[in-house]
Amino acid sequence: MNRDLRNIIIEHNDAIIQNWSKEINKLKEQNYTSDISDELYEHNNQEFVNVIIHSIKGTGSTKLVKDFSDRIIQLGWPLSYITDGLLVFRRVATNIILKQVDHVDSNTANEVLRNIDSLVEPIIRQLVNEYSVSWEHVVSLQRIALQELSAPLIPVMDNITIMPLIGTIDTERAKFIMENLLDGVMRHNAEVVLIDITGVPVVDTMVAHHLFQATEAVRLLGAKCILVGIRPEIAQTIVNLGINFSNLPTKSTLKKGFMLALEITNKSIVEMNNKSQTLDELLGKSTGSEEDHENTDLKTT
C-alpha cells in the first residue's frame, strides 16, 4: 500500500502541487506572511513543495532540507510556515489519493491517512529539527556577541581605563564585569578604572552589591574605581534604598570622573591656545611651521 501510495503521489505530482499552492496562498492573506512579496512567497513555496516531493520520492538529501530551513530562518519566517505547509500538504495529498480509489470506505480512508502520515511525519521531524538547530546556532552566536559587548574595557590613556556599561546587569554579566575589570587592570596597567553606568537602566541592591565587590577586588590589586554616569533618578533611588556608596568614589558624569582620574594619576589637561609655542615648550624644539589654532591636548606630568 505504501508503495502504491507513493506512486500515486508521484503520478499526481502536478495536481498536488497546484492544489497545495492554492491553499498556501489562501493562508498568506490571514497570517504572518501577509507583508511578504508575492514573488518571494511563491518562490519559497515552490522550493518547499520540491523538498516535500523529493523526500517522498526518496531522492531528497539532508542538504536540500537544511538549505531550505536555513533560508526560512534567514528570512525570519516563523516555524508555523513549515508546519502549516506540511499540514496542508497532508490534506491535499489525502484528498487526491482518495479520489483515485474506486470506492472509499472508512477502512481505506483510515489506511490512506495512516500511510500519508508515515510519509509526512519524517519530513516534519526533519524540517522542524533543522529549523530549531539553526535557531540554536543563531542564538548561541548572539550570545557570544552579547558577551563581547557586555563589559568592554577602553584604555583611554596610560593608567586610565574606562568600562562603559550599557543594559541590564544580571548575575552572569556581573561575573563578566568582575573578570574583565581585574583582567583589564592587570593588562593595561590601570591605576584608575572609570565604570560608567549611564546606560544601566536599574541600579538595585544586587547591582550595587556586585559593583562593590568588583571595586573591592580592584582595590586589592592596587588600583582605584570611580563610578560615573549616575543619573539623578538613580541617585535618588540609591538614597532611598539606603545603600552606602561612601567607599566608592562617584561622579555624575564621565567627564567629571575623568578629571578626578587625571588628578589621581597626576596628569592634567592643558589648553593650548598657541599650539606651536606649547609644542616647543613640550618638546623643546622648534616647530615654527605649525599653523596657529586653538586646540586642547593632553600633557602628561
Ligand X SMILES: Nc1ncnc2c1ncn2[C@@H]1O[C@H](COP(=O)(O)OP(=O)(O)OP(=O)(O)O)[C@@H](O)[C@H]1O
**Residues in the site for ligand X, rule: CB under 6 A?**
205-206, 209
Strand order in the sheet with 192-199: 154-157, 160-166, 192-199, 224-228, 250-251
What sign for the dihedral angle of Cα 74, 76, 78, 82?
A: negative
Choice from 136, 179, 204, 292 touching other proteins (CB under 8 A):
204
Q: Which does 269 bind (CB under 5 to 8 A by kind): ligand X, other proteins, none?
A: none
Choice from 141, 146, 241, 298 touching other proteins (CB under 8 A):
241
Q: Which does 234 bind (CB under 5 to 8 A by kind): other proteins, ligand X, none?
A: other proteins
Least gap, CB of 214 to ligand X (angstroms): 15
Which of 236/268 has CB closer to other proteins? Answer: 236
Which of 104/206 has CB closer to ligand X? Answer: 206
Which of 204/281 has CB closer to other proteins? Answer: 204
Number of residues that bind other proteins (CB under 8 A): 21
Which of 112/248 has CB closer to ligand X? Answer: 248
Which of 40/206 has CB closer to other proteins? Answer: 206
Question: What's the rounded Cα separation, in Å, for the pair 293 and 301?
Answer: 23
Whole-number CA gyration radius for the chain: 33
Choice from 74, 205, 286, 295 touching other proteins (CB under 8 A):
205
* Residue 243 in the binding site for other proteins (CB under 8 A): yes
* Residue 199 in the binding site for other proteins (CB under 8 A): no
Sequential DSSP letters for 79-132: HHHHHHHHHHHHHHHHHHHHHHSSS--HHHHHHHHHHHHHHHHHHHHHHHHHHH
Least gap, CB of 246 to ligand X (angstroms): 17
Specify burial of residue 66 (Cβ count, 10 A radius: 0-12, 13-18, 19+).
middle
Question: What's the rounded Cα separation, in Å, for the pair 87 and 52?
Answer: 12
By C-alpha distance, which of 300, 242, 290 is closest to 269? 300
Specify whether the CB–CB gap between 79 and 31 falls below 8 A.
no
Work out the number of other CB atoms within 10 angstroms of the CB of residue 273: 11
Residue 251's SS3 state is strand
Choice from 186, 202, 269, 298 touching other proteins (CB under 8 A):
202
Specify whether the CB–CB gap between 197 and 204 falls below 8 A.
no
Choice from 234, 248, 261, 262 touching other proteins (CB under 8 A):
234
By C-alpha distance, which of 105, 126, 103, 108 is closest to 54? 126
| Span from 70-78, 83-91, 101-109, 197-205 in contact with other proteins (CB under 8 A) | 197-205
Site string for other proteins, 138-177 (x = CB under 8 A): ------------------------------x-xx------
Beta-carbon contacts of 235 under 8 Å, excluding residues fewer than 6 positions away, are 252
Which of 5/234 has CB closer to ligand X? Answer: 234
* Residue 246 in the binding site for other proteins (CB under 8 A): no
Which of 15/208 has CB closer to ligand X? Answer: 208
Binding residues for other proteins, rule: CB under 8 A, are 168, 170-171, 201-206, 208-209, 212, 232-234, 236-237, 240-243
